[in-house]
C-alpha cells in the first residue's frame, strides 16, 4: 500500500504522525511511504532521517493526497485539505467528529474511509491509540495548572504544593480515566490536595489503592461537584464519552460560585469540552477569562511537547497502520473488532453511533460496509 505521512497544518501543532523508525518498519513490510517535506521538523526529525529509512519525500500535501491510498495525520484534516481527499481514500487520524459538524459533513461529502484513532478499541477494552496522548495531556494539565494559577499568569497567586505552614492548593479532577489519573498523579507529586471524581465504583476502589494519600477519590455527582468547585483553586476536566460529546460538568451557575483567579483546564475540549463556558484555544493564545475564572482550553495540548508525543503516538499507531496496510481496511475491520470500532464514516455513510447521535444523522450498520 502507498501510505502518506502529512505535515500538520493546524495552528501550533508540532507533532507528526510517524517517526523515521515507523517508516522503516512499514518499508520493510513492503509498503511505500510518502512523507510530505518538512513533516517531522518540529518533532526533531529531518527529511534526510525519513529518506534514510526508505521514505520518498514529496513537496506538497496535494501530492501526498493524490498518490496515497492511506493518508495519516495527527489532527483532523483542515478545511483547506477537504477537497484533496478522494472517495474511498483511507484517512487515519484523530477526528473527534462529534465535536465538529463541519468536518463530519465534509468527510461524508468526500466519501472517504475515516478511521479514527480515538475510537479504536484494544483486545482487552480501552482505547489504545488515545491512551498515549491522554497520558501526555493529563500530565500537561497539572503542569499548565501549576503555571496559570500563578498571579503573573492571571491566577490566584498560589504555589500548587504550598510550603511548610501554608495550605497547598486544592485541585479537583473530574474523571478517573487515563487523563484524570495522570493529572492527579502529577498534582499530587507537586504536593496539592487532590479530589479525583469518577462514576465507576470499581475504578474508585482501584484508585484508592494506587493513588498517593493526598489524593481523595470520590463518587462523582452534580451535588459533589457543586460542593467542591467553590473550594477548588484548579479544576481539571478529564471526562470522556467514547466518540461522543463530553457532558457539561461545570455549569455557568457553578462557575459563579468559584474563587476569582481559579483555573479551569478542559482536556475534554476535543470532544466539545466539559465546562459550559469552554471554547477551543491555541498554544499561541491558550487562555481566556469568564466570571473571573481563567480557562485553559487548548485543543492539542500534546502538540507543545512534540518529540515525546510523536514517539508515544507512533508506538501506539504503527501496529494498526501496518495491519490496515497489509490487509486493506475492509479485511482488517472484519478480522479485528477493535479496528472495526475505529470506522466512523465510510463512503459517505456514518457508521459510528456517537457521531450520528451528535448531529441527528442516519446511522448505518458498520457490517453493511464490510
pLDDT at 195 over 90: yes
pLDDT of residue 341: 96
Cell of 33: 511511504
Q: Within this chain, do residues 264 and 165 fall inside the same structural domain, yes or no? A: yes
What global pTM score does this model have? Answer: 0.85
Tens digit of pLDDT for each residue in 78-126? 999 999 999 999 999 999 999 899 999 999 999 999 999 999 999 888 8
pLDDT of residue 11: 82
The C-alpha atoms of residue 119 and residue 277 are separated, in whole angstroms, by 26
- Of 270, 296, 322, the one marking the end of a domain is 296
Domain ranges, residue 332 = 2-126+305-368
pLDDT at 305 over 80: yes
pLDDT of residue 124: 85
Q: Within this chain, do residues 140 and 288 fall inside the same structural domain, yes or no? A: yes
Which residue of the set 100, 233, 266, 270 is catalytic? 270
The C-alpha atoms of residue 304 and residue 126 are separated, in whole angstroms, by 25
The mean predicted confidence, pLDDT, of the chain is 96
Annotated binding-site residue? 326? no
The answer to whether 108 touches 50, Cβ cutoff 8 Å, is no
pLDDT of residue 310: 95
270 is catalytic: yes
DSSP state of 4: E
- Of 296, 317, 350, the one marking the end of a domain is 296
Annotated binding-site residue? 64? no
336 is catalytic: no
Tens digit of pLDDT for each residue in 235-281? 999 998 776 788 999 999 999 999 999 999 999 998 899 999 999 99
The answer to whether 354 touches 243, Cβ cutoff 8 Å, is yes
Which residue of the set 73, 96, 182, 295 is catalytic? 96
pLDDT at 162 over 80: yes
Annotated binding-site residue? 231? no
Annotated binding-site residue? 269? yes
- Of 271, 296, 321, the one marking the end of a domain is 296
pLDDT of residue 241: 79
Amino acid at each position: 500500500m502507498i501510505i502518506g505521512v502529512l505535515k500538520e497544518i493546524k495552528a501550533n501543532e508540532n507533532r507528526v504522525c510517524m517517526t523515521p523508525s515507523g517508516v522503516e518498519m512499514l518499508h520493510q513490510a513492503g509498503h511505500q511511504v510518502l512523507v510530505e517535506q518538512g513533516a517531522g521538523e518540529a518533532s526533531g526529525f529531518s527529511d534526510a532521517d525519513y529518506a534514510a529509512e526508505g521514505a520518498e519525500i514529496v513537496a506538497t500535501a496535494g501530492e501526498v493526497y493524490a498518490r496515497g491510498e492511506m493518508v495519516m495525520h495527527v489532527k483532523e484534516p483542515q478545511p483547506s485539505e477537504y477537497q484533496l481527499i478522494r472517495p474511498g481514500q483511507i484517512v487515519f487520524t484523530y477526528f473527534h467528529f462529534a465535536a465538529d459538524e463541519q468536518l463530519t459533513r465534509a468527510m461524508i461529502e468526500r466519501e472517504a474511509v475515516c478511521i479514527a484513532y480515538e475510537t479504536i478499541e484494544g483486545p482487552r477494552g480501552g482505547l489504545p491509540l488515545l491512551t498515549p496522548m491522554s497520558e501526555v495531556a493529563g500530565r500537561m494539565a497539572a503542569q499548565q495548572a501549576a503555571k496559570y494559577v500563578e498571579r503573573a499568569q492571571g491566577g490566584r497567586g498560589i504555589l500548587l504544593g504550598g510550603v511548610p505552614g501554608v495550605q497547598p492548593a486544592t485541585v479537583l479532577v473530574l474523571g478517573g480515566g487515563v487523563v484524570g489519573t495522570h493529572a492527579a498523579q502529577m498534582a499530587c507529586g507537586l504536593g496539592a490536595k487532590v479530589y479525583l471524581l469518577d462514576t465507576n465504583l470499581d475504578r474508585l476502589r482501584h484508585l484508592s489503592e494506587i493513588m498517593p494519600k493526598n489524593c481523595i477519590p470520590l463518587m462523582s455527582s452534580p451535588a459533589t461537584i457543586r460542593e467542591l468547585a467553590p473550594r477548588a483553586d484548579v479544576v481539571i476536566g478529564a471526562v470522556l464519552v467514547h466518540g461522543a460529546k463530553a457532558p457539561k460538568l461545570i455549569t455557568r451557575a457553578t462557575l459563579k460560585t468559584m474563587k476569582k483567579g481559579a483555573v479551569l483546564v478542559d482536556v475534554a475540549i476535543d470532544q466539545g469540552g466539559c465546562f459550559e463556558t469552554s471554547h477551543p484555544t491555541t498554544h499561541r493564545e491558550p487562555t481566556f477569562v469568564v466570571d473571573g475564572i481563567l480557562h485553559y482550553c487548548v485543543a492539542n495540548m500534546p502538540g507543545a511537547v512534540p518529540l515525546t508525543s510523536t514517539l508515544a503516538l507512533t508506538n501506539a499507531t504503527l501496529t494498526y497502520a501496518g495491519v490496515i496496510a497489509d490487509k486493506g481496511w475492509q479485511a482488517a475491520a472484519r478480522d479485528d473488532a477493535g479496528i472495526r470500532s475505529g470506522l466512523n464514516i465510510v463512503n459517505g455513510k456514518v457508521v459510528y453511533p456517537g457521531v450520528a447521535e451528535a448531529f441527528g444523522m442516519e446511522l448505518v450498520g458498520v457490517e453493511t460496509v464490510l
